[in-house]
Every structure is written in structure tokens, then in C-alpha cells.
A = this chain, B = another copy of it.
Amino acid sequence: MFNLKNYLHQKQAAINKALDENLNRPSAMSKRIVSAMNHSIMAGGKRLRPILCIAACEIVGGNEENCITTACALEMIHTYSLIHDDLPAMDNDELRRGKPTCHIAFDEATAILAGDALLTLGFQLLSRNSSKLSGAEALQKLDIIHRIAVAAGCEGMIAGQMLDILSEGKKLEIEELKQLHMSKTGALIEASVYAGAVLGNGTASQIANLRDYARNIGLAFQVADDILNIEGDPFFMGKAVGTDNDRHKSTYPSLIGIEASKRFADELIANALKSLEAFHMEAEPLRVIARYIVERKK
């Protein structure tokens, strides 16, 4: 039987090893920047995006080696966004995963630069070793870089964060909130799955199904986060709860109530599982991850 805990541990270990190798190279000029990058990237993240990337790659017949560097790049881009979102000018968070946020452990200037450096290093990793690639592989890589840049940029993650800040204290429509989350977190999750599926040489229909899966779990992840911010245990979460309410943020529970939010999350997960119908046992990791997203405690 498929064991999620073992699977996640094994993937996380591979990802952490690769992240460490890609971050701690002797040529890095500024030790302080590298320390700050390390502080945030090694703070015990779930590695959801790289795991989804690897899982998607393996499901269509690829292997970890095909996509581990891309997986690392995705985690770096995700981590940069967390560092910048935590800054005093943005969400002003002092704790993340139970540890001081980057600007608390270092200072604001270092945190801004460490974020910038992680984003840039992400693209550096995505484009490296071009001399060893075939033309077809290079075309694939360029396509992936472009999709990730679009997902992370001002039509995706950054637009979502801006909307999030601008809508603090305002009551959004449910469709606006959905749009906010689709861009803030959904786009990069979808790009992660897309990248893995492309690097594993998935067919067009496999890729379309996997993207559909990703869109659904991406939104479910956010709905579950909103619920955890009300019902979660700060001990397990490593961060404060009730903060959305304190900030008068529009959330699924605040707009449609907690029970309807839970039903919505379940519905999204059901849709995600439906997108995987064309796959057999090889998609079991993605199925279990989908269920885990709404059942997790942190």
C-alpha cells in the first residue's frame, strides 16, 4: 500500500539535498546573502511544489533526475515570495514555520536581497547546462521557463499578492477571492505540475489532465489554509492563528461560512481526483497528496 509519509520523506530528502548543493557553492560572493537564502529555504517547508513537479514527471514515465533541478528552482521561487510577503511593508510576519522570518533573523535589506537572489537563482538553475542539451530539450526548457515566469509574475503570483494587500479590510466577492488565490498560489502550483509532466515527456492529454488536477488542489490548498487559520493549532502550524480575522481579510470562511468552505474544499479535491481517472496506480501519490491537502494540520 502507498505510504504518504514515507513518500514525502523520501522526496523531501532528495529535494533538500539538491537545494543544499545548489545553494552552497564556493563561488557565492556574499556569505551573508547565502546565509539568509539558506535560513529561509531550509526552514522546514513542505516542499509541495517540487514534490508535485517530481510526482507529475514520474507519473508520465520520467524520473527524479529529469526534473530535480527544476523542482529546486520552483522551491526557490516559492521561498522568495514568502520572504518578500513576510516583510514589514507587506504582511509584517515575524514567524514562519515556527522560526523567525528572514528580515527578523537578518534585516530588511538582507531579506529583500535574499528574496531577489532566490528568484534569480531559480531562473539560473532552469537555464543551466545548455551546452549539454539537444535542441529539442532546449525548446522544452525555454517553454518551462516561460510558463514559470508567467505564473510567478505580474499576471500570476505577484498580481495575487498585490490584490491580497489591496483587499485587506475589504469584502471581496467569492469570484474575486477565487481569482486572487488562483493567481497568488494556484498559478505556480499549476506550473510545477506542468513542468514535471513536460520534463517526463507526457502526452498533451496527460499534461492537460495533470494541470486540471493542479488547478483544483491549488485552490483547495488555499481554502484549507483559510480554515486552518481559524481551526488550526498554532503548535502544529508553527505560526499564529486567527490572523486573517484580525486583519479583516476576506477568506472562504468569512464569505461563505466554515461548513460551506469545507464542502467547497472537498468538492475541489473530488474534481482533482476526477482529473486523474485516466491514470492507474502510478497516480496514487497525487491522489493521496490531494486528500492530505484538506486533512493536514499545518
Contact = CB atoms under 8 A, between A and B. Distances in A.
Contact of A130 (B80, B112, B139, B152): B139
Q: Which of A107, A120, A124 has the most CB of B within 10 A?
A: A120
A121 interface: yes
A38 to B, nearest CB: 11
B134 A33 contact: no
A251 interface: no
Interface in A26-57: 27-30, 32-34, 37
A120 B154 contact: yes
A84 interface: yes
Contacts of A158: 30, 33, 113, 116-117, 120
Interface stretch (A64-72, A141-149, A213-221, A240-248): A141-149
A109 interface: yes
A187 to B, nearest CB: 10
Interface residues of A, number: 57
A127 B145 contact: yes
A166 B28 CA distance: 16
A134 B138 CA distance: 10
A80 B154 CA distance: 13
Main secondary structure of the interface of A (DSSP, over half): helix
A159 B27 CA distance: 11
Interface in A103-150: 107-110, 112-113, 115-117, 119-121, 123-124, 126-128, 130-131, 133-136, 138-139, 141-143, 145-146, 149-150
A161 interface: yes
A146 B163 contact: no
Given A110-B162, A149-B121, A155 B116 contact: no
Contacts of A110: 162
A192 to B, nearest CB: 16
A245 to B, nearest CB: 21
Interface of A: 27-30, 32-34, 37, 80, 84, 87, 89-90, 107-110, 112-113, 115-117, 119-121, 123-124, 126-128, 130-131, 133-136, 138-139, 141-143, 145-146, 149-150, 152-155, 158-159, 161-163, 165-166, 183
